[in-house]
């Protein structure tokens, strides 16, 4: 549940797969909220969800001891997993094709924006690296764009890492920012002229989900979309090998 | 058993094998590989152009993103389809390496308004390397919607491989699969926080489909049904006002297609949200 100053955060959790899938989980579950303090994951059961049902979680539904400056991670489990953990519980009972997702939403007084998202447990298990390429910056005329960078790791450590934002056309590092593991970091993005609108978001030692959030001054108009991992540019065949080769080529091209 | 399956893999893990699985219904794949090894694949992106809506497509030189060290140029083709699925027009673009061009759809429509869909295919010599690995470039980019008078584009990315085309004037073929029975799809989202919502469905397979929708109220009960016949590549918008038509929380669809999911628009007091369902 990313949190943005001045806006309400909401997540719709659903307890059914999107597409009927053989063997998909079909039982009641318990809704959990978790957050890291850097040393441990604090996990709290915050409600139940019947099979086939959905539930809206807003900030008021978070546990009272959940600090305001953490990234609350929501998950469903058939069993209660309350307590303090040295690793975020990894669950695979909701693995489906397409992925089992939640609707993650930011709400102002007059509108809301969302995306269908999940944080794959496989991504949380690794440090990884990030390379994502998108043309989603909108600026000018009272519009600003920020990057919401979400990382979740099974290990509770909260580490600082460098994020580079690079022009794909010129390879110029446009901006550097500090991002943290197990946090949602908000990075205000500068204006981009047409020749440098295609931006590479790169981190050498941490993966995560880059989400572009554009809005006007009063949050009466808002737009939210995450950028693809580069592997989405390839279908079928040796996608993994091609993805690794592409990331290596870009890493060399934008090495600082 | 798994060793046997592994040894047979060269026989079934092929474009023909995909089609046999799709035809027999035995573990049907969501997509089949294109027959042409050098084809590129595209999602079927909906467009809306009328008195209320504008649409743009973020046209990227995708070959140069796949092979940055080669700095290839890209010959990209945008193919526009009408609501009835018929091809309206094809527009070719030469893109410099790493170029991103925001293409507004309205000027390409020559006066046609309403809804429809578009696909984007790429061509570059560097893509032969993908074919050697049994892979295809996938256009899964970003389409933007804006209400007239607004400043902000709201983007949604593609989420379903649908069409394929070999470079040049190659025939457009389908990579989505039909099914011998109905498959159910229910977006993992609620609609009852919005004043109104639209679901946009574009037929992703190579034959007409009947889309059966069931609307579900906030208490979980049946709140209506609707059936829509849609030609191949045809597009339909299903709109509902929670303010005037009773509150709908969820919608499920059934069709003889292994995966068919909508683009969702939710309308709020001052603006709207768009995302893939």
- Nearest residue in B to A99, CA atom: B188
CB contact under 8 A, A138 and B65: no
d(CA A163, CA A190): 15
Average pLDDT of the segment spanning A220-235: 94
Q: For an interface test with A, which of B41, B145, B271 has the most A Cβ atoms less than 10 Å from its Cβ?
A: B271
pLDDT at A20: 84
Provide the shortest C-alpha distance from residue A86 to chain B (in Å).
31
In chain B, the residue whose alpha carbon lies closest to the alpha carbon of A140 is: B151
A217 touches chain B (CB under 8 A): no
Task: Give the per-residue pLDDT at B173.
Answer: 95
Element (H, E) at B121: strand B114-121
Q: From the list A114, A197, A228, which residue is nearest B275 (CB)?
A: A114
**Strands B263-267, B196-202: parallel, antiparallel or unpaired by DSSP?**
antiparallel
A86 at interface of B, judged by CB pairs closer than 8 A: no
Q: Check B33 against A138: CB less than 8 A apart.
A: no
- For residue A77, count CB atoms less than 10 angstroms from its CB and return exposed for 0-12, middle for 13-18, buried for 19 or more: middle
| Nearest CA-CA distance, residue A111 and chain B, Å | 5
Beta strand B161-165 with B87-95 is unpaired
Q: Which chain B residue's Cα is nearest to A144?
A: B152
Mean pLDDT of A138-164: 95
A and B: number of Cβ contacts within 8 A:
183
Residue A51 has pLDDT above 70, yes or no: yes
Is residue A89 within 8 angstroms of chain B, CB to CB?
A: no
Alpha carbon of residue A244 to chain centroid: 21
Q: Does the beta-carbon distance from B270 to A228 stay under 8 Å?
A: no
Cα nearest neighbour of B127 on chain A: A234
What does the pLDDT read at residue A256? Answer: 62
Tokens of B208: 């007409």
Predicted confidence at residue A69, as pLDDT, reads 92
Beta-carbon separation of B152 and A214 below 8 A: yes
Provide the pLDDT for residue B1: 55
What is the per-residue burial (b if ≥16 Cβ within 10 Å, else e) of B63-92? bbbbbbeeebbbbbbbbbbbbebeebeebe
Give the residue among A150, A207, A153, A178 at the shortest CA–CA distance from A41.
A153
Give B8's pLDDT tier (boundaries 50, 70, 90): confident
Residue with tokens 């969501």: B30
* Residue B188 to residue A19, Cβ atoms within 8 A: no
Q: What is the pLDDT of residue A8?
A: 97
What is the spatial distance between Cα A246 and Cα B95, in angstroms, rounded to a whole number?
20
Question: Which residues, in sequence order, are CB contacts of B213 under 8 Å at separation 6+?
Answer: B225, B226, B227, B228, B238, B251, B252, B253
Q: Which positions in chain A touch B184 (Cβ < 8 Å)? A: 19-20
Say whether the peptide bond before residue A98 is cis (omega within 30 degrees of 0): yes
**Phi, psi values for residue B112, rounded to 5°:** -70, 140
Query: Looking at beta carbons, which residues of chain B come within 8 Å of A223?
Result: 152-155
Beta bridge partners of B184: B254
Q: Per the CB < 8 Å rule, is A232 touching B140? A: yes
Q: Which residue of B has its CA nearest to A246?
A: B66
ipTM of the complex: 0.94
CB B196 within 8 A of CB B240: yes
For residue A197, the chain B residue with the least C-alpha distance is B100
∠ at Cα B204 (B260, B92), nearest 5°? 135
Q: Report pLDDT digits (tens) over B236-265.
A: 999 999 988 899 999 999 999 999 999 999
| Of the candidates B141, B95, B150, the residue with the CA atom closest to the CA atom of residue B118 | B141
Contact predicate B260/B199, CB 8 Å: no
Cβ(A180)–Cβ(A163) under 8 Å? Answer: no
Closest among A129, A26, A44, A53 to A89, alpha carbons compared: A44
Q: Given an 8 Å threshold on Cβ–Cβ distance, is B275 in contact with A238?
A: no
Out of A77-81, A168-172, A189-193, B62-66, pick the least confident.
Answer: A189-193
Taking contacts as CB-CB distances below 8 angstroms, the residues of chain B near A54 are 188, 190, 249-250
Residue B157: its chain A contacts at CB < 8 A?
Answer: 225-228
Rg (chain A; Cα; Å): 19
Percent residues over pLDDT 90 in chain B: 82
CB A202 within 8 A of CB A255: no
pTM of the predicted model as reported, rounded to 2 decimal places: 0.94
Looking at residue B19, what is its pLDDT?
A: 86
**What is the chain A residue with the closest CA to B255?**
A19
Residue A246 to residue B189, Cβ atoms within 8 A = no
Q: Under a CB-based contact definition with an 8 Å cutoff, are residues A200 and A249 in contact? A: no
């Amino acid at each position: 549940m990313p949190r943005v100053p001045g806006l309400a955060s909401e997540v719709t959790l659903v307890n059914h797969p999107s597409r009927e899938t053989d063997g998909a989980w079909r039982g009641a579950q318990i809704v959990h909220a978790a957050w890291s303090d850097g040393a441990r994951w604090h996990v709290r059961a915050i409600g139940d969800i019947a099979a086939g049902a959905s539930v809206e979680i807003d900030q008021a539904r978070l546990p009272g001891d959940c600090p305001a400056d953490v990234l609350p991670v929501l998950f469903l489990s058939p069993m209660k997993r309350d307590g303090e953990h040295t690793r975020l519980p990894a669950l695979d009972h909701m693995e489906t094709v397409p992925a089992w997702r939640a609707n993650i939403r930011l709400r102002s007084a007059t509108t809301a924006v969302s995306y269908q998202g999940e944080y794959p447990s496989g991504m949380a298990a690794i440090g990884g690296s990030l390379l994502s390429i998108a043309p989603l910056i909108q600026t000018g005329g009272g519009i600003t764009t920020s990057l919401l960078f979400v990382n979740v790791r099974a290990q509770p450590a909260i580490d600082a890492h460098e994020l580079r934002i690079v022009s794909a056309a010129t390879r110029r590092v446009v901006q550097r920012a500090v991002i943290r593991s197990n946090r949602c970091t908000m990075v205000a993005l500068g204006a981009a002229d047409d020749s440098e609108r295609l931006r590479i978001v790169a981190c050498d030692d941490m993966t995560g989900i880059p989400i572009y959030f554009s809005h006007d001054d009063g949050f009466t108009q808002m737009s939210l979309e995450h950028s693809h991992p580069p592997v989405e540019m390839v279908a079928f065949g040796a996608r993994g090998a091609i993805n690794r080769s592409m990331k290596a080529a870009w890493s060399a091209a934008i090495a600082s | 058993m798994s060793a046997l399956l592994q040894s047979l893999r060269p026989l079934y893990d092929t474009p023909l094998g995909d089609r046999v699985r799709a035809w027999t219904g035995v573990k049907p794949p969501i997509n089949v590989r294109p027959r042409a090894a050098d084809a590129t694949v595209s999602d079927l992106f909906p467009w809306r152009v009328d008195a209320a809506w504008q649409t743009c497509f973020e046209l990227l030189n995708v070959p140069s993103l796949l092979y940055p060290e080669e700095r290839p140029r890209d010959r990209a083709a945008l193919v526009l389809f009408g609501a009835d699925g018929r091809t309206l027009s094809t527009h070719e673009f030469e893109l410099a390496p790493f170029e991103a061009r925001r293409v507004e759809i309205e000027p390409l429509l020559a006066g046609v308004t309403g809804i429809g869909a578009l696909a984007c295919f790429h061509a570059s010599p560097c893509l032969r390397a993908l074919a050697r690995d049994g892979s295809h470039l996938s256009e899964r980019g970003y389409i933007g919607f804006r209400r007239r008078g607004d400043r902000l584009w709201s983007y949604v990315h593609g989420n379903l491989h649908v069409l394929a085309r070999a470079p040049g004037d190659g025939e457009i073929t389908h990579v989505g699969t039909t099914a011998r029975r109905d498959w159910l799809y229910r977006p993992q989202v609620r609609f009852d926080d919005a004043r109104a919502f639209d679901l946009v469905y574009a037929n992703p397979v190579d034959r007409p489909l009947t889309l059966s929708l069931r609307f579900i109220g906030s208490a979980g009960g049946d709140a209506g049904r609707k059936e829509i016949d849609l030609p191949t590549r045809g597009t339909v918008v299903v709109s509902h006002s929670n303010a005037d038509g009773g509150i709908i929380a969820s919608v499920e669809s059934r069709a003889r297609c292994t995966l068919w999911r909508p683009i969702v628009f939710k309308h709020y007091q001052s603006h709207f949200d768009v995302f893939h369902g």
